[in-house]
Structures are given as structure tokens and as C-alpha cells.
Amino acid sequence: MNEVKKRLSDFFELITSEKFFFYYIILVMLSLPVTEILDENHSHPFASQPIIIQIAGYIGIFAFIVHFLKHQDIKYYLSDLLYLLLFAFALLSALFTQNKNATWFGFDYDEWLSNFMGYFSLMLAGTMIKQKQLRKNILVVFVIVTLIQVTVAAMQTFGIHLIDCYYDDGYITAQNISYGLIQHSNWYGGLSVLMFACTAGIYLYTANKFIRNSMYILSMFCFYTLISAEARLAWVGTFGFIVFMIFSMMVMKHMGYDKKKLSSILKRFLLLMAGMAAVIATCILVFERITWKIELTSNELNSDIDKLGSRRVVIWKQGLKAVPKYWAFGIGLDNYRDVFYKDPDYHDTFTQGKGHNEYLHYLVTQGVFQFITYMTLLVYAAKTAVRNVIHNDDSEERFINWILLGMFFGYAAQAFFNSSIVNVVPYFWITIGMCLTQKNQHYFGYSRKNKTVSAKK
């Protein structure tokens, strides 16, 4: 019996270790694009990814239950509380949904409760990664994912399609629009913002010349596929990344950061902007991209405003209209389409299953309490990482957080117009968790403990 208890104790120790959470994260990151290739080869696109995140959700919940119950004198952080609240409100939204069939059994690009469990667990796993080398290794895996996705996406722009596009296939493939190993060009646009911010960030901050040059080339190819996705939301995300970079350099200058290092970062940033300008010019002059999207946006603004952004305004209006009636727990977990069906005054045939705004989608489908929890998490993640960039004396740690913040703000900007998708958004939840590594947070009771120690002194 003692031997069984010891083996069980060793097993519990293993699955709550930092190394376990590290491998848990990178396995999910790599399995999403790899399984899509395998799915396509067996004519089952977009089949494995929801199941992978579902399994990740079950494993994550089990690991964290063991973590919180097993360890003695454990320190608790705000990220832990937000994790529990996110799960609780998602569960309540699923239980009180207006359409149980859609919430519990939806497929295609629907998200299940177990998928949200996966998202939240990946976030909390990210907070458990404290070793600098492991954090750097996760960024390396981001680069590997970028290489896989960008290679496939770049080939698509020349009419070489290794896999089919799951949605709007005829139009997208005919126009040689990039979509990588994702099922739609808009969704690839969201992921490409995250990948571009990662590779560009590594280029800006690394001291190794070979890595710096390699990341510059990769970031330019990534930016090319971002533009070739012809997703306007990706432009918004890129703009968000650029604004963040400019603002962050201004703040670091104001805080007295090393002038020589800041000048070097600024020079690289200007070279990055020059490369981006060259890519944009090539896409316009050679591939005849971008300009028609600008004309489309202009026509939408000058005609019926409801048609703006492929009828996003209609989608948002219907969602906001449902909030007063279903304010507490929303209309149902990932059940946005019912904002059209449940409205007796809506008579159009057009409906949408996503809010095309991740923040609004949380508010409408999961309610005010979940919306507040999610926004609190995002603000707290940004605040924690910014504080670490400004005050950390370890330059490598500072740069890791600076890279993550660029990824965070780029994705967060495009999320105003995009949807949460099961094989894209896990990367953002990992980024959030990495911004909230426990060594950058203050655990509950930290301030009171410090005051007591100071008083005794």
C-alpha cells in the first residue's frame, strides 16, 4: 500500500511540475498544424483540432485540481482566481443556454465547454512557466509554428494548395489568398498577426546576429502572407503592434532606459518598417492586392453602414440588442446565432454564429460577469508584463516580456473584428499566461507580509 501511495504521489508531483506544463503547452502548439495536415490527407479537415483542445481541457483541469489540492502552503495569485471564475461563468452559461443543442453539440467552428477549459488551462499553464530558458523555448516553438504556417501560406499565394480551404474555398483558392493550415483566410489573418509580432519581436531584441537576420527574413515572409490573406482585421492587428512598439519605446526613453540599446532597437524597428513598406508595395504592384479592399471599405462607409465589414455592424447590433434580456450568463455558450432567431423583429435570412468581435462575443454569449472577468484578465496581463518590462534588471527577461506584449496587443487589436477559433485562439491564451508568469505577479497576502516584516525591522 505504501508503495502504491508513493507511486501515486510521484505521479501527482510529475503532472504538477513546471516541466509538465511546459510540455503540455508545446505539445498543443505543435499538434494543431500537424494534425490539420494529417486530417486533410484523410479528407477530414478541421476534425482533430477541437478534440485536441478538448483533451487539453480535461488534462488541464485534472492537473490543476491536483496542483491546488496536493501542495501544502501553496501561494495563490489573481490569475488562479480568474481561472476559476472563467471556468465557473462558462459552465453557468452552458447550463443556462437558450439552445442546448447548439451549445453542447455544435461542430464546425463552434467551441465546446471543454474547448474553453482547454483555453483557460493553457493560460494558467503559461503562468507556471518561470524558468527563463523554458520561456525562451516556448517562443522558439512559436517560431516553428510560424515556419510551418508561413511555408504553406506562401505557396498558396502562387496557386500551390497542399490542403483545401474549409470555408469559402472557391473564392479563396481562385484568388490565391493565403490561409495556411487554418480553415479561412480571416482566421489565418488573426494568427498571422500573432506570428508576425513574435518573429518581428525576436528580431528587434535578440543580440545574436544570425538569429536576428533569420527572424527579419521570416517576419517579412510572415507579413507577406498576412497581407495576402486579404483580411482587413489583420491590418488592424498589425497597426496595433506598431502603435504598441512606438509607444513602448517612448515610455522606455522616458524611464531612462539605456540610450545605446534603445537606439539600436529603434534602428531595427525602422528597418522593419522599411521591409514592411517594400512588401506592401510588392503586393500592390505585382499581385494587385490591398487596393480593392480599400475601395470596398470606402464603398461600405459611403453606403449602408450596416454592411460595413461584411455586415459586422448588423452582427454587433443584434448581439447588443440581446444583452439586456440575457445579461447575467448570456444567451448561451458560443450560441451567438440565437440573437437573430430569438428576436421577433428580425426578419432577414442572414444570421451568424460568431460575434466577429471576441469581446462582444463573450458579453453576448456568456454574460456580463464573464465579460468583466475576461477583461480583468487582459488588463491584468498587460499591466503585469508592462511592469516587468520597465522594472526588470534582467535584459533577457525584459525582452521576453516585450516580445509577448507585442504579440498580446497585436492580437487584441484584431480581436475587435475577428472570431475566437479553436485552432487559433489557444496561441493567444498561451501568450496571456506567459505575460502572467507567477514570478512577475504578487501572490495574495504579499503586501501585508512585506508590511509586517518591515514593521518588525
First to last CA, the chain: 49
The runs of H, that is alpha helices, within 42-131 are 48-70, 78-95, 100-105, 113-127
**By percentage, how much of the chain surpasses pLDDT 70?**
97
pLDDT for the residue numbered 269 = 97
pLDDT for the residue numbered 453 = 43
Could you report the per-residue pLDDT of 120-151, keeping only the tens digit for each? 999 999 999 999 999 999 999 999 999 999 99
Could you report the per-residue pLDDT of 433-453, keeping only the tens digit for each? 999 999 999 988 876 555 444
**409 vs 268: CA distance, rounded Å:** 20
Beta-carbon contacts of 166 under 8 Å, excluding residues fewer than 6 positions away, are 45, 46, 183, 184
**Does residue 193 have a pLDDT over 90?**
yes
State whether residue 314 is helix, strand or coil.
Answer: helix
Confidence of residue 34 (pLDDT cuts 50, 70, 90): very high
pLDDT for the residue numbered 59 = 95
Torsion from C-alpha of 196, 198, 204, 206, nearest 10 degrees? -140
Q: What is the mean pLDDT of residues 193-199?
A: 97
The mean pLDDT value of the chain amounts to 91
pLDDT for the residue numbered 354 = 93
**Does residue 418 have a pLDDT over 70?**
yes
Cβ count near 14 (within 10 Å): 11
**362 vs 375: CA distance, rounded Å:** 10
pTM of the full structure = 0.94
Q: What is the mean pLDDT of residues 258-281?
A: 95
Residue 212's Cβ-side half-sphere holds a number of Cα atoms within 13 Å equal to 12
**445 vs 436: CA distance, rounded Å:** 18
Q: What is the DSSP string of 8-19?
A: HHHHHHHHTSHH
Could you report the per-residue pLDDT of 316-366, keeping only the tens digit for each? 999 999 999 999 999 999 999 999 999 898 888 889 999 999 999 999 999
Residue 25's Cβ-side half-sphere holds a number of Cα atoms within 13 Å equal to 32
Return left, alpha or beta for 7; rule: phi > 0 is left, psi -120 to 50 is alpha, else beta: alpha
Beta-carbon contacts of 424 under 8 Å, excluding residues fewer than 6 positions away, are 182, 187, 190, 191
Q: Mark 407-428 as b/e (b = at least 16 C-beta within 10 Å).
A: bbbbbbbbbbbbbbbbbbbbbb
